[in-house]
Amino acid sequence: MRNIIIYLLSVVLFCSSCSTRQTQYKIGVSQCLDDAWRQKMNQEMARELLIHPEMTLSTRVAHGSNELQCAQIDSFIAERVDLLIVSPNEAEDVKPAVTRAYRAGIPVIIADRRVTGDEWTAFIGGDNYKVGSLMAEWIKEQRSKAKRTHGRSFTVLEIMGLDGSTPATLRHKGMTDGLEGLPVEIHSVPGYWHQENAYDAVTQYISSHPLPDIVVAQNDLMAVGAAEALRDHPSSATNRPVPIMGVDGIQVGLQAIEDGVISCTATYSSRGDLVIETAARILSGKPYVRDTVLETVMVDPEAAVLLLMQYRERNHDLETLHIVQLRSDAVWHEMRAERHMLILLMTGVLVLFLMVLAFLFYKQRGLQHALKNEVVPQLENVQEAIQLSRRDEAFAERLRKVVDDHLSNPNLNVEYLGTMLQLSRTQLFRRVKTVAGKGPLDYIRERRLIRADELLHTTDMTIQQVALELCFSSAGYFAKCYKDHFGHLPSVR
Ligand code: FRU
């Protein structure tokens, strides 16, 4: 019985434990912007989350505002998120909020752009100085070609991202360091990472400057913006084409290369998957790499075509994955409903079972109680007594008959009686005692006295005659026994 209860309880507990998923972690994601590159990163994180159901993301976008980003980080701290992923808008301005989170005991992963100081848990981002170096290499290549064609000084129009962000400063530094000592004129205009800003900046620049020999934009979107500005220039039809380089290698940039709008780009991985994997490692106490710098490579038109193909395949895979996810969600919901039904059913069965058990238990207790109060023994005793008394009654009758038949026989004694009743001396004593409450001799005497009393009352026999008749040794002894039994002398009638 106990085993069955344990089994049933384990089944119910197992079923309910299925519904209690493992520890859930809430991750705050603070994105500085919401452009195509960020969306790619968000997608990568979302995809990786499929294998980390223990985490849920809550994403907030600061739309390029340091104040908003700090406020959003503070709200994540107030919500006590388990981990924070921050892509800082500008290193110095966002640092205080990051430090607050870190000091509040929240692990912080810095993604893509760095913050100053080292109060953060892990960093994952591209090699921006290397990006700048690649730009310098490309500029040098283009310059050598241009010298052959034009034989004049070389002008580079650099479209910069937000200058307080580490990628902007590092890319610029990598590029200028790479061009060190070369007769190259660099004109930098701010594009703040946005296509529209780049368009405006380039439009303004070319309205007051001769066309640059080359344009390097610190991201693909700004490169496309620059291309649009050049295309929209009044004398664009007659102008020589200006080679443009972007950075990122996102689909927009690759497409622009394939379409001949820009010349090349440098990859700048977002690796949202790695960010999530690192978060999972930190949360589960596994070892992780504190500072991950991602590789960057140059993408020429040929590589762009290849990467575009991969993109398209990946997009298709993502769509398939999305459908699979939707289906598995549906199956999961169905299973959950079924599991709830099962739990309900099992609980019902268990309750019923416990009720039956309780009923049986109390019934048994009632019985035990009755037994304790000797209801049953009494019943048994009565039955036993009935059986016994039947046997004893028969014996008592035989005893009385045998004794009564020999009252006048002077040989009637214990031995004689035993022989008559076919009982040993001990048996005779025990059984006579049981039915008559006295020993055999006393019983014989009692029967003689009762007969004597009868004779005295029903005949004219004298005390002497009666005593003799019933084998008393003398009339005096008879009188004494008679008085002991009836409480008065035989003469008193
Ligand atoms: C996206 C972006 C990318 C750039 C990176 C630098 O928001 O502007 O284009 O490479 O950020 O942090």
Q: What is the mean pLDDT of the chain?
A: 89
Q: CA-to-CA distance for 314 and 296, rounded, in angstroms? A: 20
Indicate the Cα dihedral angle 26, 32, 37, 38, nearest 10°. Answer: 20
Residues 381 and 394 in one domain: no
Confidence of residue 98 (pLDDT cuts 50, 70, 90): very high
- At residue 149, the pLDDT reads 47
Residues 415 and 366 in one domain: no
Q: Does residue 438 lie in a domain region?
A: yes
**CA of residue 278 to ligand 1 center, whole Å:** 21
Q: Last residue of some domain: 206, 232, 267?
A: 267
**CA of residue 163 to ligand 1 center, whole Å:** 12
First to last CA, the chain: 77
Confidence of residue 374 (pLDDT cuts 50, 70, 90): very low
Residues with CB under 6 A from ligand 1: 33, 35, 37-38, 112-113, 161, 165, 167, 193, 219, 247-248, 268
Confidence of residue 389 (pLDDT cuts 50, 70, 90): confident
Q: Ligand 1 pocket test: which of 43, 61, 86, 112 has the largest number of ligand atoms within 8 Å of its C-beta?
A: 112
Q: Considering its fold, how many domains does the chain have in total? A: 3
The residue-averaged pLDDT of 454-480 equals: 91
Q: Does residue 192 lie in a domain region?
A: yes
Domain hosting residue 147, numbered range: 128-267
Q: Does residue 164 lie in a domain region?
A: yes
Residues 373 and 473 in one domain: no
- At residue 78, the pLDDT reads 98
- At residue 151, the pLDDT reads 53
Q: Whose CA is nearest to atom 1 of ligand 1?
A: 37
Q: Ligand 1 pocket test: which of 37, 43, 127, 162 has the largest number of ligand atoms within 8 Å of its C-beta?
A: 37
Q: Does residue 316 lie in a domain region?
A: no
Q: Does residue 85 lie in a domain region?
A: no
CB 190 within 8 A of CB 158: no
- At residue 239, the pLDDT reads 81
**CA of residue 475 to ligand 1 center, whole Å:** 145
Q: Last residue of some domain: 223, 244, 267?
A: 267
Residues 142 and 250 in one domain: yes
Residues 251 and 171 in one domain: yes
- At residue 317, the pLDDT reads 77
- Which numbered atom of ligand 1 lies nearest the CA of 250? 9
Q: Ligand 1 pocket test: which of 32, 268, 269 has the largest number of ligand atoms within 8 Å of its C-beta?
A: 268
Q: Does pLDDT of 481 surpass 50?
A: yes
- Which numbered atom of ligand 1 lies nearest the CA of 166? 12
Handedness of CA 122, 128, 133, 137 (dihedral sign): positive
What are the pLDDT digits (tens) for 431-455?
Answer: 999 999 999 999 999 999 999 999 9
Count Cβ atoms below 10 Å from residue 180 Cβ, excluding itself.
Answer: 8
Residues 211 and 150 in one domain: yes
Better pLDDT: 328 or 287: 287
Q: Last residue of some domain: 326, 352, 387?
A: 387
Residues 422 and 373 in one domain: no
Q: Which helix (H) or strand (E) holds 271?
A: none
**CA of residue 241 to ligand 1 center, whole Å:** 26
CATH number at residue 186: 3.40.50.2300
Residues 180 and 232 in one domain: yes
Residues 374 and 401 in one domain: no
Q: Does residue 52 lie in a domain region?
A: no
